[in-house]
Amino acid sequence: MSWRMPSETAPQTRTWMAFPAEGPTLGETDAEREAGYAAWTAVAHAVAEFEPVTMVVDPAEVSRARRMLSSGIEILEAPVDEFWMRDAGPSFVLDPERPGVLGAVAWTFNGWGDHWWSEWRKSAGLGRFVAEAAGAELVSSLLVNEGGGIHVDGEGTVLLTETVQLDPRRNPYADRARVEAEMARTTGATHAVWLPRGLTRDYEDFGTSGHVDIVATMPSPGVVLLHDQRNPAHPDHAVSAELRAFFAEQTDAAGRPFTVRDLPAPDAVRDADGDTDWSYVNHLVVNGGVIACGFDEPEADDRARGILEEAYPGRRVVTVDARELYARGGGIHCITQQQPEVGA
């Protein structure tokens, strides 16, 4: 076996999602809960315009899901509490030595470091459930990790964050060498780029401690799209500068220096909970398109669409309002997981 995680731009069979379930993440009031259901539903419908969508739904939410989702979206029942499919679900991989074989890496999920607020024990089984439902060969991993904590280019490069994979609440006995060995075994990564940190808000109580998928991604080998907070009053202004300087000194698995392209943040710097972490980096690539986060800022949203169109030539960029997603801790990339086409 020689597992390899393809780039997110590779052809896809479908996108997996999990439907919201009642609990702290969804919201405390009826209005908050309805806004959460609607936000997840809007993303599912946007993705379904490009490729099939399978939604994993907790049995208690099936009637609501059938009422809100279009008939073309497949519904599978399984226990769900945390509904961030990117993180609780598997990361799909292929085996170049066995054409036609799909693998699914089931990371160990503990609620982003077993936060006091996270009800994650049901969703800890999503990796195995989705693997079986997809007909994939299960690749079990003892590494506590989430899909939002990594980005790959399909050519051996993986982006990681020191404060995620080396988080003592996740992997108290891990070091870089052990994490890199597990990445090589499960995703085929031959070169790890360790970001020193993530965005500021991600280190608060309801954060992930530095997920890379909100701050940087590789739309093509040797290229990094970097979250660019241009307002000096925002703490992420310094973070963007630090990471820009960091990537200037890094290379990918092929030894190429990275070309860094800034993806400016929206203008809003504060919301009801403090400094925003709103980011256009947290987008989803689908067959023929890109599902981008929107923040009801026409100029900024349009600017982001233009940059994404340049980064992903030939794909149509569609914007979906992501403010209700971010109010619950993440963006469009966080709630989705692409399944690559076997043989791609």
Catalytic residues: 334
Burial 159-195 (b: 16+ CB within 10 A, else e): bbbbbbbbbeebbeebeeeebbebbbbbbbbebbbbb
Biggest distance spanned by C-alpha atoms of the chain:
52
Residue 272 C-beta-side C-alpha neighbours within 13 Å = 5
From CA 62, how far away is CA 59, in angstroms rounded?
A: 5
Lookup: tokens for 173: 């006995």
Amino acid identity of residue 44, one-letter, is: A
Alpha helices in 103-175 (DSSP H): 111-114, 126-133, 162-165
C-alpha closest to that of 253 among 222, 229, 277: 222
From CA 157, how far away is CA 193, in angstroms rounded?
A: 7
Count Cβ atoms below 10 Å from residue 31 Cβ, excluding itself: 9
Lookup: tokens for 91: 């990361």
C-alpha closest to that of 25 among 325, 333, 342: 325
From CA 266, how far away is CA 154, in angstroms rounded?
A: 29
Count Cβ atoms below 10 Å from residue 78 Cβ, excluding itself: 18
C-alpha closest to that of 330 among 17, 71, 84: 84
Burial 208-225 (b: 16+ CB within 10 A, else e): bbbbbbbbbbbbbbbbbb
